[in-house]
Structure 1
Amino acid sequence: MTTASPAEQRPAGTAASPAGGGLVRAVTRRHLPKIHLAVVLGLAAAAAGLAQPVLIGDLIDAVGAGSGLVAPIAFVVVLFLADAALTSVQAYVMGHAGESIVYDTRTALVDRVLGADVAAFGKLRQGDVFARIVTDTSILKSAWSQSVAGIVVDAAMVVGGIALMLVLDPVLLGVTAVCLTASGLVALVLAKRLRKAAQQSRAITGDLGADVQRALAALSTVKACRAERFEGYRIGAVALRARRSGVRVSALSAMLSPAMSVGLQASLAAVIVTGASRVAGGSMTAADLTAFVMYLFYLVSPLVMMLLGIGQLQQGRAAIGRIDELAAIEQEPMPAAPSYAAQPWGAGGMAVEFQGVRFGYEPGEPTLRGVSFTAPSQGLTAIVGPSGAGKTTLLQLLMRFHEADGGRILLGGENIARLPLPVLRGLVGYVQQDSPLLRGTLHENLLYGVPSATADDIHRALWLAGLEDVVRRLPRGLSTEIGDSGLGLSGGQRQRLAIARMLVRRPAVLLLDEATSNLDSESELLLRRSVRSIAAECTVLSVAHRMSTVVDADRIVVLERGMVHDVGTHAELLRTSPLYRRLAAIQRRDGEQHAAPVHTEGR
């Protein structure tokens, strides 16, 4: 088996991950040409707009002098049309760039989450992850790409207007500046407060998404416990916090525009009064005053839009921080060029060997304390023990959902730490106690992750899982639709479908983690026979609580407190292992109690 060296491995999604910056910044860099084009178009539109008051002033002078009006009017019309065309094209280019940034950010973020280390992902709230991928990224278009370009264009419009107003009359410009400075300072303070409020609002929205997802995922439990009202109040309280924080953001955003409007209105009144006196005194012409007033009006929209853009940018920075934080999640090691290997059953299984394996979920709290045993290349090896003994942890370490703290795990004689994860997981199939099924058809569930599987692969997997008769009785067969988590199938059918889905992959090693826990006695018997057939061709490791599922195992490993207590067959362990006898006795008593008839008192 060929393997990739550690140097050839890198974190999944590195191509999309930032190098020397956040994810959003790295994605935005790829679309800078579009943003630059939008800025250039916006600046050209601004230039066309700034030229209009000058030409209108010339038109007024021409009317006063009795000169021809055709040329001045033609110039003004051309500028109007150019301004409109450039603004439209700029808006389209900026919108296209914004949508592209949102798309690239979402896909890169999804890649980072799907490639995340299992332990790191387990610490996150799924509802909050959903909010960051869907809601926070939707803000990027208006609050990042468009606001940045808009601020640049509007700033150029403001600077250009002020420069031309300075040429027309410095005194009137001074009057305007005094009025606008005060309102500008107020607006900057509001923008700073808006950013903090937006950060709080985005965090609370994430809390709301996490709580809603939590309740929906356990809806049956909520109803069974009659906790609908409790969950409604609890989620309602978070929704109220989200409403209050959103209202605060809206209030601060709404105050930005009036803050500048007051300054502009005061400037306009002061300019008209001062300008009229200067025209009356002969120090300024009526045409210049008209042009100056037009420039003042022209400043209204870009100033307001610039401040709104700053407000949007502040909200966008809050969302960007949450996106970049999620993008920084620890990744599983993946090869630069994944090579998915499959081990055909016909070639036999691969021996699995645990050598002094140690592991703990928390420092100083070991779950496994030097576990050592071997599962042969063919046959069924069962793992039993009290709750908390570390049975499931062994299987998760073999899948490298977690990395061992010490010792080695060998697969086919090779340390799994040196195997690329796609290769390892192509060789090892894992069926959890509650393997989730996906909304869609049975056929889509069976082919999940292996679209190249043949009809023979599917039929063989259904036969081994004991599902052939079940599928045959369904009106639409494999085209039957099931809901989320397998809604529409019984618990036993869902579990057998999950097993069949893994068998389609033809793994060399099959891990069953309480795979028979949801099966009735008849289905369990059918599956036990199927497991024996599978074990004749590959390695099967089965974690089980039901002793009936392990009595015919080729080898049974008994765990207690993270250590191997005994190893042997069912008959051998009944003779030599007190712990195994105790587990078997408990199972036997429970079985007798469940099987005993219920006696009722006489009436």
Structure 2
Amino acid sequence: MDTQHDAQRPEKPDPAPWRTLLDHARPHRRALLLGALLGLVTGATGLALPLAAKALIENLGRDESIAGPLVVMTALVVANAVIGALGGYLLRRTAESVVLGARRALTSYLLRLRISAMDRSEPGDLMARVTSDTTLLREVTTEALVGFCTGGLTLVATLAMMGWTDPVLLAVTLGVIVLAGTVLGVIVPRINKATKRAQESVGAMGAALERVLGSLRTVKASGAEAREEAAVHRAAEDSWRQSVRAAKWEAVAGNTAGLAIQVAFLTVLAVGGARVATGAIGVGTLVAFLLFVFYLMSPIQQVVGAVMQYQTGSAAVLRIQEAQRLPAEPVAAPAELPGPDEAPLSLAFDQVRFRYADDAPPVHHGVTFRVPARGMTAFVGPSGAGKTTVFSLIERFYDPTDGRIEVDGRPIGDWELPRLRAAIGYVEQDAPVLSGSLRDNLLLGNPAADEDELQRVVRTTRLAPLVERLPEGLDTLVGHRGTKLSGGERQRVAIARALLRRPRLLLLDEATSQLDAVNEAALRDTVAEVARTTTVLVVAHRLSTVTLADRIVVMDAGRVSAVGTHQELVGRDPLYTELATTQFLTAEHPEHPEEAGGPGGRGEQPEPAVPAPVTVRP
């Protein structure tokens, strides 16, 4: 039995969000430390201003020159602005680097996700985690990590200076700050909860939008624009409600800090004025202390902002951690494509059982067959028989729940994934084409292919007329998902892409279903020629393709009901006989009236239900 490809990694608790944030920031620790140091210097210049102001006032009271204190104050103001701007730029630049690193790491992980994990996920939500959630790390890095440290140290230094200036007024100030801190302690958990819900709603909105845009033609053809628009709007409104709720608590927290400073200022002014009146302190001391109180607003806001940003960032980190808990394939270096002299692969399924999920019905109920190296094997059967799933298991998009699969005599689980997939060319049922140029799509599986090889495959798959017709030839953009190409052209592109990989095993899942009769016949001959030197597996519904196969595997309801050639199966296997007289015949009917002997047609007759015997290659 193969190792479960979809098995979860050993369960272990995720690190606390602050540890994850530190992990993201660790590669940039020098820049962050320098930025923090500049922030502390900025804070120190600010703390020196009240002392310079005190000296200026005292000089005025003694009729002494104020030029010295004025010069010092001017220098401190300029230094505060310049150093603050430099430190702010450095921190913002470093924060962007943290976001870049997080996006790279998460994108790399998502591209290695197992197909089973993608089946259970919403692509739009995963995209939101890469874009929206990672963006939140920017503010967390500068405000939560650095801001908390620099703001906290500056706050402690400010309080120390205030205590040195007048302990009584410091006690009054601390009383107000403690009261405000108690209020913030009640508010902060609400910010965390609201922020997490806001980020989840952003992911839900992205999933709803991706669902519509990914099937826009179907939505339009069904006249469902208004209903789908309402669904996306509901998701957007939910995101708005959650974001507004988070903004409400953040505003309360921010204003609580500001109110505390104002109350402290007024209280210090009242108490300090009384102390000046009694002669306990001088006017210069009171002015300096009031400036300290005014300056206290900045580090307090830094600390409060850091706490709020941490709540926002921790919600984003939790969502990123959720994505990184999805089952993924192991990291491995890309494998080289097969050389021209490498032998084709053999294949064997032995009592293979499979279901897509634990709560899903079984797809395979003990599938067994053998395919020798070289030649063409066709898989036929009614819809839902499990034919495409056979190809998914060969590519190790999934692993069987029971049974054994061997490739070239080795258990498929013993193959390194890159090496296994490098030996396989796979043409999917819907023949997807990516945005970009036609050349990019053809070279997707073998970017090192030279121009001669590329042109040869273009001619072989009858893409040459298309290339000549396109305004920029192979460099013409094909549009999103190949919308500028017809269905048949996309299938030919997919076949050419697979052939350029020089596969030892070629998988064709209804690869010619959208081709016209002429192109289908030409590519059928091409596939037959390829089968002379490699192993070809095809899922086919056209009788002309099936009769060319060296062997036919008949599947029904997740089981193999028969294996043989066309001549052996007709009349011996009831299901194959039924398919040959109904489904295959229907599939062979020409799509255009002129091909069926209509006006201007050639008068060709449809192929009989059971054709004359054909010669099968050994």
Do they fold alike, i.e. is TM over 0.5?
yes
Distance 1:303 1:213 in 2: 42
2:605 corresponds to:
none
Seen in structure 2, the aligned counterparts of structure 1 residues 54 and 591 have a Cα distance that, compared at 3 Å, is closer
Q: Quick check: 1:261 aligned with 2:258? A: yes
Aligned-partner Cα distance in 1 for 2:40–2:288: 20
| 2:492 aligned residue | 496
Q: Could you say which residue in structure 1 is the equivalent of 2:68?
A: 71
Choose the corresponding residue for 2:412, options 416, 421, 428: 416
Query: Partner amino acid for 2:217?
Result: S
Q: Which amino acid aligns with 2:473?
A: G
C-alpha separation in 2, matches of 1:192 and 1:376:
64
- Tell me, yes or no, if structure 1 residue 430 matches structure 2 residue 426: yes
SS in 2 for 1:367: strand
Q: 1:277 deviation in Å?
A: 1.8
User: How far did residue 561 of structure 1 move?
Assistant: 2.2
Structure 2 CA distance for partners of 1:267 and 1:339, relative to 1, 3 Å: closer
Secondary structure of the residue that 1:576 maps to in structure 2? coil
The CA deviation at 1:86 is: 2.5
Q: 1:485 deviation in Å?
A: 1.1
Alignment check: 8 A CA contact 2:144 2:309 kept: yes
Matched residues in 2 for 1:593 and 1:88: separation? Answer: 75
Partner of 2:560, secondary structure, is strand
Alignment of 1:399 with 2:395, yes or no, is yes
The structure-2 alpha-carbon separation of the partners of 1:191 and 1:347, relative to structure 1 and needing over 3 Å to count, comes to closer
Q: Could you report, residue by residue, the CA deviation over 1:372-407 in whole angstroms, capped at 9, with x for unpaired residues?
A: 222222211001112222111111111111112233
SS at match of 2:426: strand
- Which residue of structure 1 lines up, in the alignment, with residue 39 of structure 2? 42
SS across alignment from 1:313: helix
Question: Which one is further off, 430-439 or 72-81?
Answer: 72-81
Give the structure 2 partner of residue 354 of structure 1.
349
Q: For residue 23 of structure 1, report the CA deviation from its aligned partner.
A: 5.5
Q: Find the counterpart in structure 1 of residue 511 from structure 2.
A: 515
Question: For the aligned residues, what is the CA RMSD?
Answer: 2.4
The match for 1:116 is 113
Q: What is the deviation of 1:96? A: 2.1
2 CA distance for matches of 1:464 and 1:178? 84
Cα displacement (A) at 1:37: 2.2
Distance verdict in 2 for CA 1:592–1:355, change over 3 Å: closer
CA positional deviation for 1:92: 2.0
Contact kept, 8 Å, 2:143 with 2:305, in 1: the verdict is no
- Name the counterpart of 2:610: none
What letter matches 1:357 in structure 2?
A: V
**Is the partner of 1:511 in helix, strand or coil?**
strand
User: In the alignment, does 2:555 pair up with 1:559?
Assistant: yes
Corresponding residue for residue 539 of structure 2 = 543
Partner Cα distance (2:587, 2:510) in 1: 18
% identical equivalent positions: 37
Cα separation, partners in 2 of 1:24 and 1:536, compared to 1, 3 Å: farther
Alpha-carbon displacement from aligned partner over 1:462-497 (angstroms, at most 9, x marks no partner): 223221222233332212221011111111001111
Distance verdict in 2 for CA 1:134–1:518, change over 3 Å: same
**Aligned mates of 1:227, 1:66 — CA distance in 2:** 84
Q: Aligned AA for 1:241?
A: D
Deviation, structure 1 residue 191: 2.1
Q: Residue 153 of structure 2 aligns to which amino acid in structure 1?
A: A
1:429/1:142 CA distance change after superposition, 3 Å: same
* Partner SS, residue 396 of structure 1: helix
Map Cα deviations across residues 221-248 of structure 1 (whole Å, 9 max, x no partner).
0001000000011111111111111111
Query: CA 1:23/1:488 → structure 2, altered by over 3 Å: closer, same or farther?
Result: farther
Shift of the alpha carbon at 1:549? 2.2
Equivalent residue, structure 1, for 2:614: none
Alignment-derived partner of residue 465 in structure 2: 469
Question: Is contact 1:513–1:542 with CA below 8 Å preserved after alignment?
Answer: yes
Q: CA separation in 1, counterparts of 2:317 and 2:331?
A: 26
**Residues 143 and 309 of structure 2 are in contact (CA less than 8 Å); yes or no, is this contact kept in structure 1?**
no
Q: Residue in 1 aligned with 2:379? A: 383
Distance 1:569 1:180, change over 3 A: same
Residues 402-430 of structure 1 show CA distances to partners (whole Å, capped at 9, x for unaligned) of: 11223332222222211111111110111
Shift of 1:164: 1.6
Which letter maps to 2:409? G
Alpha-carbon shift at residue 256 of structure 1 (Å): 1.9
Give, in angstroms, the shift of residue 260 of structure 1. Answer: 1.9
Instruction: State the match for 1:197 in structure 2.
Output: 194
CA distance in structure 1 between the aligned counterparts of 2:484 and 2:423, rounded to whole angstroms: 31
Please identify, of 363-372 and 217-226, the stretch whose mean Cα deviation from structure 2 is larger: 363-372
* SS of residue paired to 1:482: coil
Question: Normalising to structure 1: TM-score of the pair?
Answer: 0.92
2:456 maps to which residue? 460
Contact 1:158 1:299 in 2 (8 A): yes
- Deviation at residue 580 of structure 1 after TM alignment: 0.3
2:570 aligned counterpart, secondary structure: helix
Counterparts of 1:452 and 1:250, CA distance in 2: 52
Q: 1:586 aligns with which of 582, 588, 591?
A: 582
Which of residues 428, 442, 445 in structure 1 aligns to 2:441?
Answer: 445
Report matched runs for 1:140-151 at 5 Å: 140-151=137-148
Contact 1:371 / 1:563 at 8 angstroms: preserved in 2? Answer: yes
Structure 1 residue 347: Cα displacement: 4.1
Q: Which residue of 1 aligns with 2:217?
A: 220
Which segments of 5 or more consecutive residues in structure 2 lack a partner in the other structure? 8-13, 597-618
Q: What amino acid maps onto 2:38 in structure 1?
A: L
For residues 343-385 of structure 1, the C-alpha deviation after alignment (integer angstroms, 9 at most, x for no partner) is 2345442222223322222338432222222222221100111
Contact 1:511–1:541 (8 Å) recurs in 2 = yes
Equivalent positions of 1:87-486 (< 5 A) are 87-335=84-332, 338=333, 340-363=335-358, 365-486=361-482
* Deviation for aligned residue 1:595: 7.4
Counterpart residue identity of residue 353, structure 1: A
Equivalent position SS for 1:189: helix
Tell me which moved more, 149-158 or 63-72.
63-72
- With over 3 angstroms needed to count, the CA separation of the structure-2 counterparts of 1:20 and 1:532, relative to structure 1, is farther
For residues 27 and 453 of structure 2, the distance between their equivalents in structure 1, rounded to whole angstroms, comes to 43
User: Is 1:80 aligned to residue 88 of structure 2?
Assistant: no
Query: Tell me, what secondary structure is at the counterpart of 2:448?
Result: coil
Distance 1:202 1:554 in 2: 55
Question: CA 1:165–1:148 in 2, change beyond 3 Å: closer, same or farther?
Answer: same
The number of residues matched between the two structures is 583
Q: Matched residues in 1 for 2:348 and 2:263: separation?
A: 83
Kindly tell me: are residues 313 and 234 of structure 1, through their superposed partners in 2, closer, same or farther at Cα, counting changes over 3 Å?
A: same
Alpha carbons 1:46, 1:156 under 8 Å: kept: no
Partner Cα separation in structure 2 for residue 467 and residue 108 of structure 1: 38
CA distance in 2, matches of 1:25, 1:524: 58
Q: Would the aligned equivalents of 2:543 and 2:587 in 1 still touch at CA under 8 Å?
A: no
Indicate how the Cα distance of structure 1 residues 20 and 499 shifts in structure 2: closer, same or farther if over 3 A, else same: farther
Q: Does the 8 Å contact 1:382/1:557 carry over to 2?
A: yes
Tell me which amino acid in the other structure corresponds to 1:389.
A
Whole-Å separation in 2 of the counterparts to 1:531 and 1:23: 52
Alpha-carbon distance in 2 for matches of 1:183, 1:72: 35
Shift of the 272–443 alpha-carbon distance from structure 1 to 2, 3 Å rule, reads same
Moved more, 437-446 or 359-368: 359-368
Answer yes or no: is the 8 Å Cα contact 2:542–2:587 preserved in 1.
no
Q: Contact between 1:24 and 1:324, CA under 8 Å: does it hold in 2?
A: no
Q: Which residue of 2 aligns with 1:572?
A: 568
Aligned counterpart in structure 2 of residue 533 of structure 1, from 529, 540, 554: 529
SS in 2 for 1:575: coil
- Rounded to whole Å, the distance in 1 between the matches of 2:590 and 2:342 is 43
CA contact 1:24–1:105 (8 Å) conserved in 2: no
Distance of aligned partners of 1:474 and 1:81 in 2 relative to their CA distance in 1, 3 Å threshold: closer
> In the superposition, relative to structure 1, how do residues 398 and 342 fare at CA in structure 2: closer, same or farther (>3 Å)?
same
Instruction: Could you tell me which runs of 5 or more consecutive residues in structure 1 were left unpaired when the two chains were aligned.
Output: 1-5, 12-17, 599-603
